[in-house]
Amino acid sequence: MKKRTVITKLTGIFAMGCLLSGFLAGCGSPDASGTAAGAKDGGEVIVYNWGEYIDPDTLEMFEEETGVKVVYDEFETNEIMYPRVEAGASQYDVICPSDYMIQKMIDNDLLQELDFDNIPNAKANIGAQYWEQSEQFDPGNKYSVPYCWGTVGILYNKTMVEEPVDSWSILWDEKYADNILMQDSVRDAFMVALKLNGNSMNSMDPDELAAARDLLIEQKPLVQAYVIDQVRDKMIGNEAALGVIYSGEAIYTQRENPDLEYVIPKEGTNVWIDSWVVPKNAPNKKNAEKFIDFMCRPDIALLNFEYITYSTPNDAARELIEDEEIKNSSIAFPDLSQYANLETFNYLGDEGDELYNEMWKEVKSN
């Protein structure tokens, strides 16, 4: 999805013998207390997260403070993560999926409810608006704790784009032919076209999806490239005038190139949340909840925000931000009440996946 290019690694504090290809054998099996046999002190916690989506220092701090060893693995997309968890061959304690994928995992009975008595920092520090947003994919907020959130919008170069940018329609302007970057993602690409047509980004209406498909096919000759991580580097390097990007990446790009500006189009967009969850087969549930609680601590949440630049839903952490420009940034912390037609992606079932994927194939092959 929106994370920086995955780097498959284990930080120096993690046991190299616990690589996921064989970590269950290398790290020992869980004993009756919920910790791994042979693990030092408080056992271990096995974390599966997006690439470069956490400050490694916070993991070392967790180990030092709790005595719990962190075994860490990374994934690049929700779709890569899901079948691995579904198969049950690899047992994780904590995973960080996106909103719609959490809904899918709940529907398919892959997650277990959290004991919030063990996660007091979550209720104390996560803002009410983010719990409300989470209700869309986790009714009752029983299974997940928000970790990062953001929006999707247009990043444009002020030296290359003269007119005001406030609509997705500029991505169809022929004057910017070969200077437009689109997300190489079926749901993100269709979100842009559906919103431009005034439809829900979760539409299952065949006519609305066909119209969005045709719009994307019409746009295709103008698109320089369909990219994911590369949009950040291309925009920083002045290689394109306009690009669809996630807000966290926009914050980073502006630090590197002051000519770049980010906007949420007037037709609306995707407001996404990535959250911590615990799989049904987690071998170390208590340590998982201890880990989630630690990540919800204001000082730890601040370190992660500063490292990855994706917005934190931790209101207490935001109060600790010393840079007033970042603290009050309309990119990092927009007032969502100013925008219309904001949505979160829903899981649309196998039928929805098949419908969108088939239409996306038609766009890419046309």
Residue 179 and residue 240 in contact, taking contact as beta carbons nearer than 8 Å: yes
Reported as a single tens digit per residue, the pLDDT across 127-160 is 999 999 999 999 999 999 999 999 999 999 999 9
pLDDT recorded at residue 22: 39
Q: In terms of pLDDT, which residue wins out, 149 or 15?
A: 149
Q: Which domains does the chain have, with CATH numbers?
A: 16-144+277-327 (3.40.190.10), 150-271+335-365 (3.40.190.10)
The answer on pLDDT for 35 being more than 60 is no
pTM, rounded to two decimals: 0.84
Reported as a single tens digit per residue, the pLDDT across 317-333 is 999 999 999 999 999 99
DSSP H helical ranges for the chain: 23-27, 56-66, 78-87, 99-107, 120-125, 128-134, 186-196, 206-219, 230-236, 247-256, 285-295, 298-308, 315-319, 324-327, 349-365
Centre a 10 Å sphere on the Cβ of residue 288 and count the other Cβ atoms it contains.
28
pLDDT recorded at residue 337: 87
Backbone angles phi, psi at 72, to 5 degrees: -125, 130
Residue 149 and residue 272 in contact, taking contact as beta carbons nearer than 8 Å: yes
Beta bridge partners of 226: 182
The answer on pLDDT for 219 being more than 70 is yes
The answer on pLDDT for 101 being more than 80 is yes
pLDDT recorded at residue 288: 98
CB environment 251-277: b (16+ within 10 A), e (fewer):
bbbbeebeebbbbbbebbbbbbbbbbb
Q: Write the DSSP string, 216-276.
A: HHHHGGGEEEEESTHHHHHHHTT--SEEEEEHHHHHHHHHH-TTEEEE--TT--BEEEEEE
